[in-house]
Amino acid sequence: MIAAIKDIIKNSNHIAVLTGAGVSTASGIPDFRSSEGLWTAERSREELMSSAFFHENPEEFWHYYKSIFKLKLLQNYGPNQVHRFLNELEYGRERVDIVTQNVDGLHTAAGNGNVIEYHGTLKTASCPVCGTTFSLEKVIEETIPYCSCGNILKPDVVLFGDMIRFHEEAENLVKKADLTLVLGTSLSVMPFNMLPMVATGTKILINNYPTDKDYMFDYCIHDDLSEVIEKLKA
Ligand SMILES: [Zn+2]
């Protein structure tokens, strides 16, 4: 199957790649959405990381946000071989689009030019009033980060209750791609998991374990993602 997939990748000119936590775990980043992860762990966390809680109590929100996402550690992580493989796909191809659920900014750090951060990013925070965006350094430095206009910043990660801003754009990308490659995601988070459904080209899924959406794909590999990528590069 590896040989067949290599051929398909080689012959695809516009590739859409949908990525999840499994792409970042090889960089040492915990899988925030796994069964032990952030999003399913306990209901109170879902409440704490909600846009409603931010608006009610932004000071307390920032306290929890920083500890849950371990922001200080974020600067220690870098792209791994999977990110680099996806960057190399750009060479000699018309277009590679990445739609990622990850909030760590590592696809952009690896050099990919067309990245949609579907669930936002931990790397910046913006002023909900004037719209100015600030860096992670500032966010880490200040216990509660303020804009120069006097308002408390809101993280640019998508909080529970926030709108997903790029769903339609992501749909359009997978509709146009001749290959949709889904990597390191169990496709359990809505509405991201709807994207493979509208893809019109060949669909390939590589994930550590089977997903509920495997039936949508032409090819599925259930194996360690980094190892599969090594084989695809060989
Ligand atoms: Zn402001």
Tell me how far apart the alpha carbons of residues 147 and 122 are, in angstroms, rounded to a whole number.
Answer: 17
What is the 139 CA–ligand 1 centroid distance (Å)?
A: 14
Q: What is the pLDDT of residues 166-220, one digit of tens each?
A: 999 999 999 999 999 999 999 998 899 999 999 999 999 999 999 999 999 999 9
What is the 42 CA–ligand 1 centroid distance (Å)?
A: 33
Is the pLDDT assigned to residue 31 strictly greater than 80? Answer: no
Is the pLDDT assigned to residue 47 strictly greater than 70? Answer: yes
32-76+122-157 topology per CATH: SIR2/SIRT2 'Small Domain' (3.30.1600)
- Catalytic residue list contains 222: no
Domain boundaries, the chain: 1-29+79-119+163-234, 32-76+122-157
List the catalytic residue out of 83, 119, 167, 222.
119
Average pLDDT, the chain: 92
127 is in an annotated binding site: yes
pLDDT at position 42 is 55
pLDDT at position 43 is 55
What is the 191 CA–ligand 1 centroid distance (Å)?
A: 31
Distances (CA, A) of 230 to 91, 92, 179: 18, 20, 20
pLDDT at position 34 is 46
Angle at alpha carbon of residue 85, lines to 113 and 193, rounded to 5°: 75
What is the 68 CA–ligand 1 centroid distance (Å)?
A: 25
What is the 19 CA–ligand 1 centroid distance (Å)?
A: 32
E strand map for 105-201: 115-117, 120-126, 133-135, 154-157, 179-183
- What share of the chain has pLDDT > 70, as a percent? 94
Is the pLDDT assigned to residue 137 strictly greater than 90? Answer: yes
Q: Given pLDDT bands bounded at 50, 70 and 90, which one contains residue 36?
A: very low
**155 CB-near residues (< 8 Å, 6+ apart):** 65, 120, 122, 124, 125, 139
Cα 102 from chain centre:
2
Decide whether 1-29+79-119+163-234 matches 32-76+122-157 in CATH topology: no
Tell me how far apart the alpha carbons of residues 125 and 105 are, in angstroms, rounded to a whole number.
Answer: 13
By residue count, the chain amounts to 234
1-29+79-119+163-234 topology per CATH: Rossmann fold (3.40.50)
pLDDT at position 68 is 82
220 is in an annotated binding site: no
pLDDT at position 35 is 42
What is the 132 CA–ligand 1 centroid distance (Å)?
A: 6
149 is in an annotated binding site: yes
Q: Take residue 195 and report the two structure tokens written for it.
A: 């994207």
